[in-house]
Amino acid sequence: MTSRWWFFPALAVLALPLLPVLLLIFAAMLTYPTLPSLEVLTDYRPKVPLRVFSAEGLLIGEFGEERRELLKIDEVPELMKKAILAAEDDRFYEHGGVDYLGVVRAAVTNIISGSKRQGSSTITMQVARNFFLSSEKAWTRKFNEVLLAFKIEHNLSKDEILQLYINQIYLGQRSYGFAAAAQTYYGKPLNQLSIAETAMLAGLPKAPSAYNPVVNPKRAKLRQMYVLRRMAELGFITSAQLDAAQTEAIVAKHGNQEFSVKADYLAEMVRQVMYERYQEDTYTQGFNVYTTIRQQDQAAAYAAVRNGVMEYDARHGYRGPEGFIDLRKDKSEEFLEEALQDVTDSDDLIPAIVEEVGAKSVKAYCKGGQVVEISDDGLRFAQRSLGDRLSLNQRIRVGSLIRVQHNEKGFWQIVQIPQVESAFVSASPRNGEIYALVGGFDFNHNQFNHVTQAWRQPGSSFKPFIYSAALEKGFTPASIINDAPLVFDAEQTGSQPWQPKNFDDNFDGPMRMRQGLIKSKNLISVRILQAITPEYAQDYITKFGFDKDKHPPYLTMALGAGSVTPMQLLTGYSVFANGGYRTMPYFIQRIENAQGKLLSQSASVVAGNGAEQVIDVRNAFTMVSMMQDVVRHGTAVRAMTLGRQDLAGKTGTTSDSMDAWFCGFQPTIVAISWIGFDTPRSLGDKETGGGAALPMWMSYMGKILKDVPEAEYSMPDNMVAARINESGLRDPDASRVEYFYQENLPAEAGASRSDNAEHTDSVKEQLF
């Protein structure tokens, strides 16, 4: 009897060491039924952003809080899988959710090092934490994490778990999942990454902010080295591959450079269309929008605008540093990098802080850690600011915030963010598909889309529409018009007395209408408008898509004193290029949902097949012919360096050179370029459409038309090609050939006045 009483206390004493284990088992039994359902894993529906693609299917824009691209496990490259396992959980396919060997290994390492340097979370445990738990460091959270890991392993296959991890894990820069991170950091899909790039991504889950190659390239490199060594130790890569990967430089993308081509303004236009249609679902439901933008065209347009604006800026001098950073107390790399973090990037115009200044060189710390030295030609643009005669805010000194650029000649130079703005847009005249759209110099600095939102005076680029109206009133390219002074009172102009002048202030007397357009003579245009009346022209230009109320019926309309957008000019010039049809520009081909199901598709209206014919095909042919001569012999003659005979267009320079334009085309493409200041002011006395806007157009067209055969414009029916003399009369012995409507043939040289067509007399009476 007494011995039994001793038995129970003895049993309790023996069981005491097992009590924690028993308690854990009891807690697990109570907790396991309360764990969340795995439906969020088995029916995985993450927030997927709106993605915008080029016509070729290349990513050009993305909108949403979480950048994400979902992949099936068999779409993930084997090398990426192995890199992830090497970095995070090399025994993933062997353990049941908790790696007990890994726990022991981590504990030993931490004891030896005296700090918590290694964790023991498996990939399954990380999936449990990312989907269901917080990152709070508490025993209860860890306990639930382990139980969830067991539950996940019991319900999902290893490949399904790894697929969830690869798509869900946060990797910095708003990127969720490795496919999104590959685009963010390297601008390419996973299957195009090198071993070094793959290892860099695999090292990010441990601490995305600390090992981010954009924010902290040095720490990122250390983490990458660890992953590469682990891959080699596990036999995933050879020693030769390890050596090569270790020496590969880090070339992570910055800002929005993860896209294959710069199309920020167009992508924003797509976002606005989608938001109007789908509201907040736009950013989470994984819509894919395929645009009409062509990669080669967009890249060429972007380069043309950047180079054109930079060349203009270089012609007008250096304005001085952007700001000043006091380096007297701290010159450390950490301090410099922090000071530059809030300075907005601008593609290859890199922000930098001056560390040393000499008479012949400047040393500067660039955002991202590179230190560069600028000397010789690299200092030429800012040479004036290196002296001590300027005020402190204009002088380059230690601490100055400047911009540097590694130019195509291979050396560093001081540059600046231009103040002037620009726009470029191109499209097919046949159906309106927009091929390229650049709404400004830099979307990060100015989101105002100058292609669609900027209402500017078109200047002489508007003259072709006045000339087109005149053709319908009986004028011909051979009509003689007097280039002589005119004076108008306020009633005639709608504002104040006006004495129009030509750009060169010269008057050349009577000339043919074709010559007037070639030389862009203002007085010729005014006399034409005076003859056909502003009211008639105001109605006529609506055929091309212009707003009637933006062009008051006054004689100043002849010089482009109304308001247009570059997009409107694109529509208008397309009418000439396609033979008289009005095609509406559009930029969205189709919209698909996250599963690839087609939601909507644009039905383009083609010239000659559904599009409305708004002007006579003969009118279009005649205007094209005259604008070809503008390129061959007139204000756009620089374009002849492209070596083509099928180019046509018109320069435009407004009063006081506040806007400069070139609008031109070839039968397969129309393009509009513009340059000016947001708050209108003169571009400079010598800045014209031919000098400031045409080079951008030429840069683009030179690349896009490189392999396109030259086209010929066929003369339409009911037209006559006739030889004419300098007076615009038919002369079989003359060498000049002109085109006429059959009903508007001019009289023969030497014929009596009674033989002249009545409309010719009427026109002449109004022009002299």
pLDDT for the residue 568: 98
Please indicate, yes or no, whether residues 15 and 138 belong to a single structural domain of this protein: no
Q: Does some domain include residue 58?
A: no
CATH number of the structural domain spanning residue 163: 1.10.3810.10
Q: Does some domain include residue 127?
A: yes
Please indicate, yes or no, whether residues 80 and 13 belong to a single structural domain of this protein: no
Q: Does some domain include residue 594?
A: no
Contact 87, 67 (CB under 8 A): no
88 as an active site residue: the answer is yes
* Total length of the chain: 768
Is residue 12 predicted with pLDDT exceeding 80? no
Q: What are phi and psi of 457, to 5 degrees?
A: -70, 130
Please indicate, yes or no, whether residues 343 and 394 belong to a single structural domain of this protein: yes
Mean pLDDT of 543-561: 96
Which of 380, 400, 415 is at the close of a domain?
A: 415
AA letter at 633: H
Contact 684, 317 (CB under 8 A): no
Q: What are phi and psi of 196, to 5 degrees?
A: -65, -45
Please indicate, yes or no, whether residues 252 and 376 belong to a single structural domain of this protein: no
% of the chain with per-residue pLDDT over 70:
87
pLDDT for the residue 757: 46
Using the structure block, give the residue that is written with the tokens 């789908």.
Answer: 278
pLDDT for the residue 260: 80
AA letter at 40: V
User: Distance between CA 659 and CA 459 in Å, rounded?
Assistant: 8
Point out which residues pair with 288 in neighbouring strands. 51, 592
Residues whose CB falls within 8 Å of the CB of residue 228, separated by 6 or more in sequence, listed in order: 195, 196, 199, 237, 242, 245, 246
Contact 131, 156 (CB under 8 A): no
Helices (H), 506-565: 513-518, 522-532, 534-540
pLDDT for the residue 250: 79
Please indicate, yes or no, whether residues 240 and 100 belong to a single structural domain of this protein: yes
Q: Does some domain include residue 671?
A: no
pLDDT for the residue 285: 93
Contact 147, 188 (CB under 8 A): no
Each residue of 168-213: pLDDT tens digit? 889 988 888 999 899 888 888 899 999 999 999 999 998 887 788 8
Please indicate, yes or no, whether residues 12 and 145 belong to a single structural domain of this protein: no
Mean pLDDT of 300-307: 98
More confident residue, 616 or 388: 616
pLDDT for the residue 490: 81
| Radius of gyration of the chain from its Cα atoms, rounded to whole angstroms | 35
- The catalytic residue among 460, 468, 520, 604 is 460
User: Distance between CA 640 and CA 698 in Å, rounded?
Assistant: 9
Each residue of 651-672: pLDDT tens digit? 999 999 999 999 999 999 999 9
What is the overall mean pLDDT for the chain? Answer: 88
Is residue 26 predicted with pLDDT exceeding 50? no
Q: What are phi and psi of 513, to 5 degrees?
A: -60, -35
What is the count of structural domains for the chain?
Answer: 3
Q: Does some domain include residue 87?
A: yes
Each residue of 483-534: pLDDT tens digit? 999 998 887 777 788 899 998 889 999 999 999 999 999 999 999 999 999 9
pLDDT for the residue 111: 46
Please indicate, yes or no, whether residues 76 and 20 belong to a single structural domain of this protein: no
pLDDT band, very low/low/confident/very high, at 7 (cuts 50, 70, 90): low
Q: Identify the sign of the CA torsion 337, 338, 341, 346.
A: negative
460 as an active site residue: the answer is yes
Tokens of 258: 């993860």
Tokens of 625: 């012919």
Q: Does some domain include residue 603?
A: no
Please indicate, yes or no, whether residues 120 and 232 belong to a single structural domain of this protein: yes
- The catalytic residue among 62, 69, 88, 738 is 88
What are the distances in angstroms from CA 538 to CA 28, 220, 704? 83, 63, 35
Is residue 390 predicted with pLDDT exceeding 60? yes
pLDDT for the residue 100: 73
User: Distance between CA 93 and CA 371 in Å, rounded?
Assistant: 45
Please indicate, yes or no, whether residues 120 and 245 belong to a single structural domain of this protein: yes
Q: What is the DSSP string of 391-415?
A: -GGGS--TTEEEEEEE-TTSSEEEE
Contact 464, 650 (CB under 8 A): yes
Please indicate, yes or no, whether residues 15 and 110 belong to a single structural domain of this protein: no
Q: Please choose, from the candidates 575, 656, 654, the residue with its C-alpha nearest in 3D space to the C-alpha of residue 613.
A: 575
Point out which residues pair with 374 in neighbouring strands. 362
- CA 719 distance to own-chain centroid: 44
Which of 223, 242, 258 is at the close of a domain?
A: 258
Q: Does some domain include residue 18?
A: yes
Q: The whole model's pTM is what? A: 0.83
- Domain containing residue 5: 1-34
Q: Does some domain include residue 215?
A: yes
Terminal-residue alpha carbon distance, the chain? 141
Q: Which helix (H) or strand (E) is 202 found in, with range? A: helix 195-202
CATH number of the structural domain spanning residue 370: 2.40.50.140
AA letter at 145: E
Which of 209, 243, 258 is at the close of a domain?
A: 258
Point out which residues pair with 586 in neighbouring strands. 433
Contact 218, 246 (CB under 8 A): no
Please indicate, yes or no, whether residues 5 and 133 belong to a single structural domain of this protein: no
Please indicate, yes or no, whether residues 72 and 8 belong to a single structural domain of this protein: no
